[in-house]
Each structure stands twice: as C-alpha cells, then as structure tokens.
Structure 1
Amino acid sequence: MDTAIRNKILELLEQHRIMTVATLRPDGWPQATTVGYVNKDLTLYFLCGLESQKANNLMRDDRISLTIDHDTPELMVITGLSMAARARVVHDRAEAEEALRLMPLRYPQSQRQPLPFKMPTPDEVRIFRVTPLLISVLDYKKGFGHTDLVVC
C-alpha cells in the first residue's frame, strides 16, 4: 500500500469515532447501524449487545460494509472511507480488554471527568475485530467523487 494513501486512511480513522456498519439480515436485506469504533493501525474494533441483531447477523455471515465520514457544509471538501471487511468476534481476553480500554479515550470529555456509566466487561458485550479487505478513500478535493481504491 502506498505510504501517502495509508497515512490518509489512518488520518481519517483518527479524526472520527463513529461508523455505519452494514450487515446481512437472515432474510438477505442489509441492515445498516451506527457504532462507535477504535482502531489499532488499520484494524478496527466495535462492540454491541450479546444478542443484538447486528451480532446475530455477523455470527451467520462475517462480511460487512462500512463507512466513516462526516457532514460538511461544502461539497468539494467531502472526505471519508468505505470498506469491505470481515468482522470476527474477539475471543482473546487481553485483546478484548484493550479494545474496551481504548473506547472511552476517543471522547475528550472522558479525559476530564468519569464516564456517566461503567464500561462493560468483555463478558457483557460482543466485541468485533474488523479486518479490511478493500478500502475506498473518498476525497472530493481531488475531484468530484474521487476515490482511491486500496486492496488490503
């Protein structure tokens, strides 16, 4: 992967905290939901309820599509990422605890004051590791609808 494009992907991952994840429901229809995420390099982590529809969808089929972007008042400054990826349950306790430790650090207020709730333990949520297979880097500054496609 080209160093400049990799740096752009990492920059966009660091600038954002939420993503939209599309999974496949049992009836074949896609289900898109918004989740918070953390990343370590190009690997992303998100969590959800143990028996959520999203978790159940991923237990049947670990393929996901996701987007990471933000609203902007100017058309020609739109940037973002979309990915085709695999989302697999994290079974390693140390990896799960690390993902949970990193999650509140994405929110500046948690640096100044305690969270208004107790972070769940790895036994109370399902944590998914997202491994990108294909990343599309959207950057309108390079032209309307410009994307750089990266195979991982």
Structure 2
Amino acid sequence: MDNEIRKKILLLLDQHRIMTVATLRPDGWPQATTVGYVNKDLTLYFLCGLDSQKAKNLAQDDRISLTIDHDTSDLMMITGLSMAAHARAVHDRAEAEEVLRLLPLKYPQALAQALPFKMPTPDEIRVFRVTPVVISVLDYTKGFGHTDLVIC
C-alpha cells in the first residue's frame, strides 16, 4: 500500500468516530446501521448488543461493507472511506477490554463533562474486529467521484 494513501486512510479514521455498517440478513437483504468505532492502525472495532440483529447477521456471514464520512456543504469537499471487510467477534477478554477503554476517548466532550455513562463490560456486549479486504478512499477534492482503491 502506498504510504501517502495509508496516511490519508489513517487520518480519516482518526478524524471520525461513527461508521455505517452493512451486514447481510438471513433473507439476503443488506441491513445498514450506524455504530461508533475505534481503530488500531487499519483494524477497526465496534460494539453491538449480544442479541442484536447485527450480531446474528455476523454469526451467519462475517462479510460487511462500511462507510466513514462526514457531511459537507461543498460537493467538491466530500471525502471518506468505503470498505469491504470481515467482522469477527473478539473472544479475547483483554482485547475487548482495551476496545472498551479506547472508545470513550473518541468522545472527549463527554469525558470533559464527566457525564455519568458507564461503559458495558465484555460480558454485556459483543465486540467485533473489522479486518479490511478492500478500501476505497473517496476524495472529491481531486475531482468529482475520485477514489483510490486499495487491496489489503
């Protein structure tokens, strides 16, 4: 992977904190939901309920598509990421606990205000590790619809 593209991907991952994840339902229809995420390099993590539809979908098929982007009033300033990836449940307790420590850091305003929010434990939620297969880096500043495709 080109170092410049890698830096752009990591910058976009660090600038944002929510993503839309599309999983496949048992009837074959995609289901898209918005989740918070953290990343360690190019590996992303998100949480969901133990019995959520997302967790059930991923138990049947670990393939996902996701997007990370932001709203802009200038069409030619659109930037973001799209990924095809595998999302697998994290079974290592230490890894899950690390994700649960990192996630609140994406929300410094809440931490600064000391809001009374208790993070769930690894026993109360499911943590998923997202491993990219293909990443599309969208950057309209380089031209309408410009994307750089990265095979991981």
Calculate the TM-score normalised by the size of structure 1.
0.98
Match of 1:125 in 2: 125
Query: Does the alignment pair 1:17 with 2:17?
Result: yes
Give the AA of the match of 1:121: T
Structure 1 unpaired stretches of 5+: none
Match of 1:116 in 2: 116
Query: Displacement, 1:112?
Result: 1.2
Render the CA deviation track for 1:57-88: whole Å, top value 9, x for unaligned. 00000000000000000000100000000000
For the residues of structure 1 that align with 2:114 and 2:97, how far apart are their CA atoms? 18
Calculate the TM-score normalised by the size of structure 2.
0.98
Match of 1:61 in 2: 61
Structure 2 unpaired stretches of 5+: none
The aligned runs of 1:75-94 (5 Å cut-off) are 75-94=75-94
For the residues of structure 2 that align with 1:42 and 1:92, how far apart are their CA atoms? 19
For the residues of structure 2 that align with 1:95 and 1:63, how far apart are their CA atoms? 21
For the residues of structure 1 that align with 2:109 and 2:142, how far apart are their CA atoms? 34
Query: Displacement, 1:110?
Result: 3.2
RMSD between superposed Cα atoms in Å: 0.7
Q: Percent identity?
A: 82
Could you say what secondary structure the match of 2:12 adopts?
A: helix
For the residues of structure 1 that align with 2:53 and 2:35, how far apart are their CA atoms? 13
Query: Displacement, 1:116?
Result: 2.6
Tell me how many residue pairs correspond in the alignment: 152
For the residues of structure 2 that align with 1:104 and 1:6, how far apart are their CA atoms? 25
For the residues of structure 2 that align with 1:36 and 1:65, how far apart are their CA atoms? 15
Structure 1: 4+ residue segments shifted above 3 A:
none
